[in-house]
Structure 1
Amino acid sequence: MKAVVLLSVLGCALAQERLFSWSDPGQPIQPDPTDNACVTDVASCGCCLMQKQMWKMESFFNMSLNELQRGLDRAHAVLNNIRVSRSAFSVALTDSRLCVGPNREDSVLKYGKVFINLGEGYNSSSGVFTAPRSGVYSLALTLYSDSGSAGSVLAACARLRLNGRTIASPTEKNTQDQEDSASALLAVQMLAGDHLDVSLPAGCFLCDDNNHYNTFTGFLLYSTD
């Protein structure tokens, strides 16, 4: 019981915001309104104000520096994402004189001359490009054929296929020219893992040499994943 009373009295004493003099214990004193560095020492007051301004400047500098660092980190993240998502290929049918077809059945063209294969999406052994990321791709296909002599049947044709479905079919068939060409240029939405190839239809044939008339090109415009 005595302990409870003592704690209560001590709490009341501490709760009172009063100042006591060391020279005359027990006698409360009133705070001196002139006890201020800015009143008694002008130089000290100026120093304090300068210190406050320095603290403000330091705080503002730190905030600005942190914001710049966050912006730099975001820029690095964007650049790394662009670097990782790079995908481009450009191939030609051959590097020497060669005619492919005509065949009795459709067949996938295997382009042997690789100019660029950034991201290793194009497989020259199978003739298939596999999209590494989902996004919009720019695709271009050029065809050239030589019938050998005027009046012969000219059949420069091919099918650009996405997952086995034809999305473009440039064709040039006639008996008026010894040689002719066709082309296709388009933008296509693709998902990661989609397959793209060029099919040579039955009865069509293409001819090429080191001038690289027959080309297949594609690159990622922007990713959507």
Structure 2
Amino acid sequence: MKLLLAAVLLVPALYVSAQTPLTTTKPSSWEAAVASWSKPLPCGGWDCPCAFSKKRGCCCVANWITRFEDHLFERIGGLWSDLSILTGDVNGITAGLNIAFSAVLGKLSSCYGPFTSNTPIKYQTILLNSGIGYNPTLGAFTAPRAGLYSFSFTAFSNEGGVGRRMYHQVSLMHNDDIVASVWEDNREDYEDSGSQTVLLPLSAGDQVYVRLLSGRQLCGDIYLQNSFSGYLIYPSTG
């Protein structure tokens, strides 16, 4: 009888206990511990106020990351500005180094020459003229700046009509000095050519051209083989 009475009294108590949620003292104890801490929190580079005051999952390094992004953006902007300045300086220096030209005499249906005096050959068909150093009106290249230059020229001719043979002599001139020459004195064949390539140290304003000797001629080149070209290898540092 006593056991039955105890069971009747225990069941309602268990039901009430099941309906009441269990609580813990940890949150209040944690908050109390945080509230009572008066010294600086030993967090290093972490955001302690975020960690202690915000909900779980907050980004405790958000402020640090934001500052890092701002700093990185400023550094990239500075590097971009420095690169733009450097590019401008390089372009300014190398702009004066783009010196090269190539020109040909053109198709000859007859002969170029002979003339009563030594005559610069005016190569009228310009293939390249970087730096605008070659003047087709004069047939001469004027050095825009001092440096070491390379020059090449080719003299070609074939039969200049019935009974006429090649008879040319051309020279590469540096101002008034002969640097190199090619010529053809054999009148028994029908076509000949000669080429020369030389390196010349030039001062700014020096002229280089190809000169045809008086009384000589270039005949019948229809393949643009009479050519004159040159380019700057490196500038003088003085």
Q: Is the 8 A contact 2:168 2:217 kept in 1?
A: yes
Residue identity opposite 2:194 in structure 1:
A
2:144 to 104, 118, 132: 132
Q: Over alpha carbons, which structure has the higher Rg?
A: 2
Give the % identical residues.
30
| Higher strand residue share | 1
Task: For residue 187 of structure 1, give the secondary structure of its aligned residue in structure 2.
Answer: strand
Q: 1:122 and 2:127 equivalent? A: no
Task: For residue 158 of structure 1, give the secondary structure of its aligned residue in structure 2.
Answer: strand
Task: For residue 173 of structure 1, give the secondary structure of its aligned residue in structure 2.
Answer: coil
Task: For residue 169 of structure 1, give the secondary structure of its aligned residue in structure 2.
Answer: strand
CA RMSD of aligned residues (A): 3.5
Pair 1:42–1:221, CA change in 2 (3 A): closer
TM-score by length of 2: 0.63
Residue identity opposite 2:170 in structure 1:
A
Per-residue displacement from partner, 1:133-154 (whole Å, max 9, x unpaired)? Answer: 2233232101012354799664
Residue 86 of structure 1 corresponds to which residue in structure 2?
A: 98
My pick for the range that moved more, 205-214 or 41-50, is 41-50
In the alignment, structure 2 segments of 5+ residues that lack a partner are 1-37, 52-58
**Cα offset, 1:215, TM superposition:** 1.0
Task: For residue 81 of structure 1, give the secondary structure of its aligned residue in structure 2.
Answer: helix
Residue identity opposite 1:122 in structure 2:
Y
Separation in structure 2 between the aligned mates of residue 79 and residue 127 of structure 1, nearest angstrom: 30
My pick for the range that moved more, 64-73 or 206-215, is 64-73
Q: 1:109 and 2:121 equivalent? A: yes
In the alignment, structure 1 segments of 5+ residues that lack a partner are 1-33
My pick for the range that moved more, 201-210 or 58-67, is 58-67
Residue identity opposite 2:173 in structure 1:
R
**Cα offset, 1:35, TM superposition:** 4.4
**Cα offset, 1:84, TM superposition:** 4.7
Residue identity opposite 2:203 in structure 1:
L
Q: 1:191 and 2:203 equivalent? A: yes
Separation in structure 2 between the aligned mates of residue 75 and residue 66 of structure 1, nearest angstrom: 14
**Cα offset, 1:214, TM superposition:** 0.8
Residue identity opposite 2:111 in structure 1:
C
Per-residue displacement from partner, 1:176-218 (whole Å, max 9, x unpaired)? Answer: 4222000112332222211111111234321244421211112
Per-residue displacement from partner, 1:102-139 (whole Å, max 9, x unpaired)? Answer: 34432211222222333322222221211112233232
Residue 43 of structure 1 corresponds to which residue in structure 2?
A: 48
Task: For residue 117 of structure 2, give the secondary structure of its aligned residue in structure 1.
Answer: coil
Corresponding residue pairs, total: 192
Q: Is the 8 A contact 1:138 1:186 kept in 2?
A: yes
1:178 to 181, 190, 208: 190
My pick for the range that moved more, 61-70 or 114-123, is 61-70
Residue 166 of structure 1 corresponds to which residue in structure 2?
A: 178
Q: Is the 8 A contact 1:95 1:113 kept in 2?
A: no
**Cα offset, 1:74, TM superposition:** 1.6
TM-score by length of 1: 0.66
Residue identity opposite 2:133 in structure 1:
G
Residue 66 of structure 1 corresponds to which residue in structure 2?
A: 78
Separation in structure 1 between the aligned mates of residue 127 and residue 39 of structure 2, nearest angstrom: 84
